[in-house]
Each structure stands twice: as structure tokens, then as C-alpha cells.
């Protein structure tokens, strides 16, 4: 405000306003400053207007004019402060870029995908080729070439999800085993294992072969704690001259110790139509370190995968000479590994997309 040769009371009041004006940096402080100077009952300007009557008649007009002039100047200054505060406030819904950003939740790799990546990394370092195959298969690649003839029980409707079969009247189950081979081969189905891709690969490429085939497979299973109609697995195949059961066991020991740490591995005799001899592979129980507990039925061992040496009939189906090459094959359930690795006792949890479950796994 410009300086004036005013009455000492007016000058003192103007100076007081100039001193207090910088403190009006908020709406609340501005209101307090307005009330202090322009309040109707006890404001400084109101008090000076009440004094006009106490002045001699010849001084009243001049003092009154000075009070009203100061009042107008203070009102204008307060209005300017109000406009400045309004201009500095963000509009409704605007973003204050000076504020710290909100913490954005970091996504996690799904535990099944984590296990799949770990297994793929292990076998990639061993020199295996990683393949994927079709989920819709034909009977020949899924069953017949794997030494499962048309009357094999694995073809039953209780196990396999058939998509189409060239049958007139009746059902597939009623005719199975009594159809011409050409019609049986024409059936399409959702693959029950990824071993079908092994057949496709061997029919295309000569040995030596070292492949793994991860992917989804389908069975007619009821959904419960340990079964689901769709699950994921790895099938592996090694073919070449002089491949032995010792190679199979050494491969599993290296893989399983990378997945589970320092575990013992054992092979038990078993039966699979496409391997001979066949073996179930066990590891020491993760819950009790082999001491025996309810999880392992007090045996100290947990079954982890099935395996065996490739059956000569499989080699013959793809045109390999079983007198010249040998090989081993294995199947590994991804859900099974994840359940053992992370201590999960219900396979359904992997597919329910419950964030409370998924957020428990490491980033």
C-alpha cells in the first residue's frame, strides 16, 4: 500500500495490517485476518469508525474519510489474498504431482509357472530341446504308437475325453476294440499325456534325441484334493546308442536335487505300456526328511514321477531299429512337484486365482 500522511491511529493500523498480511497463507488464516480488521463488532476498522464521534467537528470529516479509505484498501488486499489462495489450490479431481506415488502391488509368477520354468531351465542346461505339441490328438499318436492297442483300458471313456469318433449308433465305449483299425485311428481326443509329441518328433527326426515336452493334458477325473480334469506335466525322452537305466537315474538325481535340495532318489519297479523296464521314482519326504510321517504314510518316501526304458514296440512304431538304439522316457506332473515343493495339500488352490493364496509365494 502507498504511504500516507494520515492520522497516527490510521498509520498505526495500516502498518499493523502490513505486518500481519504475510501470515494469511491459508483460508483459515485469511478469515482470521479479515475478522480482526473488518469484523462488525470488534474489528480494528469498526473501532476507528466508532471514534469519529469523539473528534472535534472540524476533524471528523477528514478522519472519517481516512478510516473509510483504509477500510477499502484492506478489503481490496484481502480479496487479492483470497484470489491468490484459490489459484494455488488444485481443482476437484486433479492430481497433486508433488505427492508421493501410491505403492503399486507387484505381480508374482504363478507357482505352477515357476516350477515349469525351473524344470525347463534345468533340462535346457543339460542340453534338452523344449517342445510343445497339439492338445487335440489322434488315437495313433496318443495311444497306439505308445504300445496301447485298441483294447487297452486307458482308452476307456472313464479316462479319456474323446472329441469325435466315426461311429454310427451306440457309443465309443460299446464299440471300442471291435472297430477296424482305420476307424480307431480316426478318433480325436484331448491328449492324456504329452508323450504323443514324442511320437511325432521321432517320426520326423532320427536319433540321437533329447527332448522335454511340457503342456496341459486332460483326463476324466473328478475335481478333488489331488485330481483335476486338466493338469500340466512334462514328458521327457532320450534316445541314442547305449542309453542305459543308469543314465535315467543320474538324470533324475540331478534334476530332483536342483528342485528340492539334498534329497535321496530311489527307483521302484512299476509298469507302463510304453516302457520296459518301468520304474516309479521316489524322493525322501519333504515334510519329515525321510524319518516317516503322515504325509509319506510313515514310509519316508514320496512318489514324484514315472519313468522307464523305451519299449521296443514304440521304436518300431516310429521306424527306429530297437537293435541299434535305446532310450528312456519319463513323465513329471507340475502340480505334483509344486505341491511337494511348497507344502500345498489341495491341488484346486492352484486354479482358483485366490490372491490370498498366490501372494504367499515369493516374487
Grid coordinates given for 342: 511348497
**pLDDT for residue 172:** 40
Domains in the chain: boundaries: 8-88, 111-133+193-358, 136-190
Mean pLDDT, rounded, of the chain: 84
For residues 139 and 166, is the Cβ–Cβ distance under 8 A? no
Question: 100-143, pLDDT tens digit by residue?
Answer: 877 877 778 899 999 999 999 999 999 999 999 899 998 889 98
Least confident of 80-89, 177-186, 208-217, 340-349: 177-186
Least confident of 204-208, 209-213, 351-355: 351-355
pLDDT greater at residue 183 or residue 191 = 191
Q: Which of 158, 165, 224 is nearest to 189 (CA)?
A: 165
On whether the pTM is more than 0.95, the answer is no
Helix (H, G, I), strand (E, B), or coil: what is residue 65?
Answer: helix
CB atoms within 10 A of CB 318: 16
Helix (H, G, I), strand (E, B), or coil: what is residue 166?
Answer: coil
Query: pLDDT band at 5, cuts 50/70/90?
Result: low
User: CB neighbours of 204 closer than 8 A, spacing ≥ 6?
Assistant: none
Domain with residues 111-133+193-358, CATH architecture: 2-Layer Sandwich (3.30)
What whole-number percentage of the chain has pLDDT above 70?
89
For residues 151 and 177, is the Cβ–Cβ distance under 8 A? yes
* Three-class SS of 221-232: CCCCCCCCCEEE
Amino acid at each position: 500500500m502507498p504511504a500516507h500522511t494520515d492520522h497516527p491511529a490510521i498509520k498505526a493500523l495500516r502498518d499493523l495490517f502490513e505486518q500481519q498480511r504475510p501470515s494469511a497463507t491459508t483460508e483459515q488464516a485469511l478469515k482470521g485476518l479479515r475478522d480482526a480488521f473488518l469484523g462488525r463488532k470488534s474489528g480494528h476498522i469498526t473501532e476507528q469508525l466508532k471514534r469519529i464521534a469523539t473528534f472535534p467537528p472540524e476533524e471528523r470529516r477528514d478522519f472519517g474519510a481516512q478510516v473509510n479509505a483504509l477500510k477499502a484498501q484492506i478489503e481490496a488486499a484481502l480479496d487479492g489474498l483470497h484470489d491468490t489462495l484459490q489459484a494455488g489450490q488444485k481443482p476437484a479431481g486433479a492430481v497433486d504431482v508433488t505427492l508421493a506415488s501410491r505403492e503399486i502391488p507387484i505381480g508374482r509368477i504363478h507357482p505352477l509357472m515357476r516350477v515349469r520354468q525351473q524344470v525347463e531351465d534345468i533340462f535346457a542346461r543339460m542340453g534338452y530341446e523344449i517342445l510343445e505339441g497339439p492338445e487335440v490328438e489322434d488315437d495313433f499318436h496318443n495311444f497306439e504308437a505308445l504300445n496301447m492297442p485298441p483294447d487297452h483300458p486307458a482308452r476307456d471313456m472313464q479316462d479319456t475325453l474323446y472329441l469325435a469318433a466315426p461311429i454310427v449308433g451306440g457309443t465309443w465305449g460299446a464299440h471300442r476294440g471291435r472297430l477296424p483299425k482305420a476307424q480307431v485311428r480316426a478318433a480325436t481326443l484331448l491328449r492324456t499325456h504329452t508323450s504323443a509329441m514324442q511320437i511325432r518328433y521321432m517320426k520326423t527326426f532320427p536319433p540321437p534325441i533329447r527332448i522335454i515336452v511340457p503342456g496341459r493334458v486332460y483326463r476324466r477325473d473328478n475335481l478333488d484334493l489331488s485330481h483335476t480334469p486338466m493338469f500340466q506335466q512334462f514328458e521327457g525322452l532320450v534316445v541314442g546308442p547305449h542309453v542305459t537305466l543308469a543314465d535315467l537315474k543320474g538324470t533324475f538325481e540331478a534334476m530332483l536335487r536342483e528342485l528340492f535340495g539334498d534329497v535321496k532318489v530311489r527307483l521302484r519297479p512299476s509298469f507302463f505300456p510304453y516302457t520296459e523296464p518301468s520304474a516309479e521314482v521316489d524322493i525322501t519326504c519333504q515334510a519329515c526328511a525321510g524319518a516317516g510321517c503322515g504325509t509319506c504314510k510313515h514310509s519316508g518316501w514320496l512318489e514324484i514321477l514315472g519313468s522307464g526304458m523305451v519299449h521296443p514296440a514304440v521304436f518300431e512304431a516310429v521306424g527306429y531299429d530297437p537293435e541299434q538304439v535305446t532310450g528312456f522316457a519319463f513323465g513329471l506332473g507340475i502340480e505334483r512337484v509344486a505341491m511337494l515343493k511348497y507344502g500345498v495339500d489341495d491341488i484346486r488352490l492352484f486354479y482358483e486365482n485366490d490372491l490370498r493364496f498366490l501372494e504367499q509365494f515369493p516374487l
